[in-house]
Amino acid sequence: MHNLYSRFNNLTALLSSCMMALLAAIALSSLVLTADPKGEVHITSVKVIPRKHASKKQDLAFVNFNITADLTPLFHWNTKQLFLTLEAEYTNTQGVKNEVVIWDRIVRRKEDAVVSVLGKNKYMFREVSASFKNVPPAHYALKYNVMPYVGALTYGEAGRTREPVAFPPRKSHV
Amino acid sequence: MIWKGLGLITNTESPIVVVLSGSMEPAFYRGDLLFLTNSASERYHTGDITVYKVPGAAIPIVHRVLETHDKVDTSMLVPAQRMLTKGDNNHVDDIELYNGIKWLERKHIVGKVRGFLPYVGYVTIAMNDFPQLKYALIGILGLLALVQRE
């Protein structure tokens, strides 16, 4: 009855149950530890430049932006990292709703969570119809994804442009 | 039974997946367990992490949504979405992984990542990477069955 094997079996069973309970408690705790930090998103300039790619014409938009946000409240004991994205949101002339990520950053430490970036788009910003001509102005929003050590992934928005930003007419050079 | 029930609730063919590659590091490492849902009425947003499988691909891929383009159709509950994805740890988007498809569509998507449990799935990867381990485990179990008194 009380041989080595059954003792080992009981001990590991107890340890794994305790581990599961602890992990569940941590996962649940992050549902309570919420924060809603806000920052500022400013678009300093937008340019549209036509590119010829594989014999097809394709407009590319170049966006310069200035974002500031203090996201330190999002870091608690179950925050592994934040994934920040700056995205453009607009509806084109064909009624297609678009969300395009133009910049992202991974924040892994609380010390790096005060974000102040004067930057330009990291990813190509294209229109599905290939042209930004007559496309209505776009909103730009800074969003975050809180990624936990264990448990549920949560999402939020830290800021957006107050007024939509128009796409200017095409330019032939940068 | 539990697996199928879970699949029914979450509306996905595999509600739990194991991360097989390092393309989402440092968010997900090989062996991490992901919990998925795929609610039919929900649209996908940029920043969501999807698991998708394109025709001709051997294994499902876990990557983040970079672009969404929704064709709004009033006759349908959810808009027809076209998506582009990218792995956090990759430098370029996934267009090369789509086997000739231009955009990812809803039908390619297995689910949206909702929850995360680290390391647990590594057992399955270890058994694939080191088959000896699998045989050792089977051997030990067999031995125990023989040795143990009923």
pLDDT digits over A115-165, tens only?
Answer: 999 999 999 999 998 899 899 999 999 999 999 999 999 999 999 999 999
Residues with Cβ < 8 Å from A140, sequence gap 6 or more? A41, A43, A63, A65, A86, A87, A88, A89, A102, A160, A161, A165
Is the CB of A87 less than 8 angstroms away from the CB of B47?
A: yes
Residue B68: its chain A contacts at CB < 8 A?
97-99
Tokens of B91: 């430098």
Query: Which of B47, B79, B116 has the CB atom closest to A143's CB atom?
Result: B47
Cβ burial of B50 (10 Å; 0-12, 13-18, 19+) is: buried
- Tens-place pLDDT, residues A60-112: 999 999 999 999 999 999 999 999 999 999 999 888 999 999 999 999 999 99
Whether B6 and B73 share a structural domain: yes
- Do the beta carbons of residue A79 and residue A26 sit within 8 Å? no
- Regarding whether B136 and B114 lie in a shared domain, the answer is no
The pLDDT assigned to A3 comes to: 84
- Count of domains in chain B? 2
CB atoms under 10 Å from CB of B45, counted, come to 16
A36-68 pLDDT, tens digit each: 999 999 999 999 999 887 778 889 999 999 999
Interchain contact A130–B (C-beta under 8 A): no
Window 18-37 of A: residues touching B by CB (8 A cutoff) are 23, 27
Collapse the DSSP code of A126 into the 3-class scheme (helix H, G, I; strand E, B; otherwise coil) and give the result.
strand
Backbone angles phi, psi at B100, to 5 degrees: 95, -10
- SS3 of B78, please? coil
CA distance linking residue A68 with residue A57, whole number of Å: 35
Range of the domain at A147: 35-160
Residue B136: give the domain boundaries: 122-150
Residue A97 forms part of a structural domain: yes
Residue B23 and residue B97 in one domain:
yes
Where residue A173 falls among pLDDT bands split at 50, 70, 90?
low
What is the three-class DSSP state of B94? Answer: helix
Q: What is the CATH number of the domain that holds A100?
A: 2.60.40
| pLDDT tens digits, B92-123 | 999 999 998 999 999 999 999 999 999 988 88
- Same structural domain for residues B144 and B103? no
Statement: residue A174 has pLDDT above 60:
no
Task: Look up tokens 């941590």; give the residue.
Answer: A26
Determine whether the interchain pair B69/A97 forms a contact, defined as Cβ–Cβ distance below 8 Å: yes
A170 within some domain? no
Task: Identify the band that residue A1 occupies on the pLDDT scale cut at 50, 70 and 90.
Answer: low
Note whether A113 and A124 are same-domain residues. Answer: yes
Backbone CA torsion sign across A108, A110, A111, A113: positive
Query: Are B72 and A100 inside 8 Å of each other by CB?
Result: no
Is the bond into B26 cis (omega within 30 degrees of 0)? Answer: yes
Task: Look up tokens 């594989």; give the residue.
Answer: A54
Are residues B13 and B50 located together in one domain of the fold?
A: yes
| ipTM of the prediction greater than 0.85, yes or no | yes
Domain count, chain A: 2
The pLDDT profile of chain B, 150 residues, written as one tens digit per residue, is: 788 888 888 888 889 999 999 999 999 999 999 999 998 888 899 999 999 999 988 889 999 999 999 987 777 666 789 999 999 999 999 999 999 899 999 999 999 999 999 998 888 888 888 889 889 999 999 998 888 765
Residue A7 sits in the same domain as residue A71? no
- CA B121 to mean position of chain CA atoms: 12
Residue A67 to residue B22: CA distance in whole angstroms: 30
Please tell me whether residues A49 and A135 are part of one structural domain. yes
